[in-house]
């Protein structure tokens, strides 16, 4: 918010010259995604929204993919924050997992395009996007931690918490996508019953000990 007084004239028209154009570009991209959908997300449109020239983003991002990757990274971070808050709310154990599940689905419903981009084809291969990879891995680590906690509480049976975490995340993600894609429209008018059922299956399945 606060910025140094600019050295010469023209204090207002362009607000992003104080040094954090990179963050402003990511923010602008996320807004475009939310407001206009994926087809509106062009580098040039992002630059226009941030009030800079079409070439300016190249000072901060190698190419278009890098910007999309940064948006995805932001998404994973926001998703993890939301889950963290849901875990801290009262009602641990089984109720806690259910709360996290609802939080996860709500995030996807509230940020449909951004969520789809996070798991979409463009930034799927993260070999050249190390920060995105780290953010995504961190989300998995977060889920694994939660599973380990449930195991300690005796609510989840023994087994590699990482494997169980992947299975859990997989169910949440799949549910989010199927709901977003309206695959469930004719089947589960309101999605709550669906999330309940999936959570139930998960909890019972995880409580059972491995063969």
Residues 135-154, interacting with a second copy (CB under 8 A): 136-137, 140, 144
Question: Is the CB of 23 or the CB of 140 nearer to a second copy?
Answer: 140
- 6 lies in the site for DNA, by CB under 7 A: no
Choice from 64, 77, 78, 133 touching DNA (CB under 7 A) = 64
CA distances (Å), origin 35, targets 30, 45, 96: 9, 12, 32
Look at the alpha carbons of 167, 93, 100, 201 in this order and tell me if their dihedral is positive or negative: positive
Which residues lie closer than 8 Å to 70 by C-beta, 6 or more apart?
A: 25, 26, 29, 61, 131, 132
Q: Which does 104 bind (CB under 5 to 8 A by kind): a second copy, DNA, none?
A: none
Q: What angle do CA 156, 160, 165 make, to 5 degrees?
A: 70
CB 175 within 8 A of CB 194: yes
Choice from 10, 12, 182, 190 touching a second copy (CB under 8 A) = 182
Query: To which H or E segment does residue 200 belong?
Result: helix 191-207
Count of Cβ atoms closer than 10 Å to residue 11 Cβ = 10
- 166 lies in the site for a second copy, by CB under 8 A: yes
DSSP 136-166: HHHHHHHHHHHHHHHHHTTSS-SS-HHHHHH
- 123 lies in the site for DNA, by CB under 7 A: no
Choice from 34, 42, 126, 184 touching DNA (CB under 7 A) = 42
- 63 lies in the site for a second copy, by CB under 8 A: no
Q: Looking at 11-19, 23-31, 48-56, 181-189, which segment touches a second copy (CB under 8 A)?
A: 181-189
Binding site for a second copy (CB under 8 A): 37-38, 112-113, 116-117, 119-122, 124, 126, 136-137, 140, 144, 159-160, 162-167, 169-175, 177-178, 180-184, 186-188, 193-194, 197-198, 200-208, 210-211
Binding site for DNA (CB under 7 A): 14, 16-17, 19, 21, 42-45, 52-56, 58-60, 63-65
């Amino acid at each position: 918010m606060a910025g140094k007084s600019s050295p010469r004239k023209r204090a207002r028209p362009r607000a992003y010259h104080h040094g954090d154009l990179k963050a402003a570009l990511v923010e602008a991209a996320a807004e475009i995604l939310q407001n206009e959908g994926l087809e509106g997300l062009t580098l040039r449109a992002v630059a226009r929204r941030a009030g800079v020239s079409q070439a300016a983003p190249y000072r901060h991002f190698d190419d278009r993919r890098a910007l999309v990757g940064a948006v995805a990274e932001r998404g994973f971070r926001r998703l993890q924050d939301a889950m963290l808050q849901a875990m801290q709310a009262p009602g641990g154990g089984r109720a806690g997992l259910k709360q996290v599940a609802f939080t996860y689905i709500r995030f996807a419903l509230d940020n449909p395009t951004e969520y789809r981009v996070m798991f979409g084809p463009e930034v799927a291969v993260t070999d050249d996007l190390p920060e995105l990879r780290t953010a995504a891995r961190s989300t998995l680590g977060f889920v694994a931690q939660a599973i380990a906690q449930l195991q300690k509480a005796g609510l989840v049976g023994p087994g590699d918490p990482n494997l169980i975490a992947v299975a859990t995340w997989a169910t949440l993600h799949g549910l989010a996508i199927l709901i977003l894609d309206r695959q469930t429209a004719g089947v589960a008018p309101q999605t709550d019953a669906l999330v309940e059922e999936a959570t139930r299956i998960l909890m019972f399945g995880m409580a059972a000990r491995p063969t």
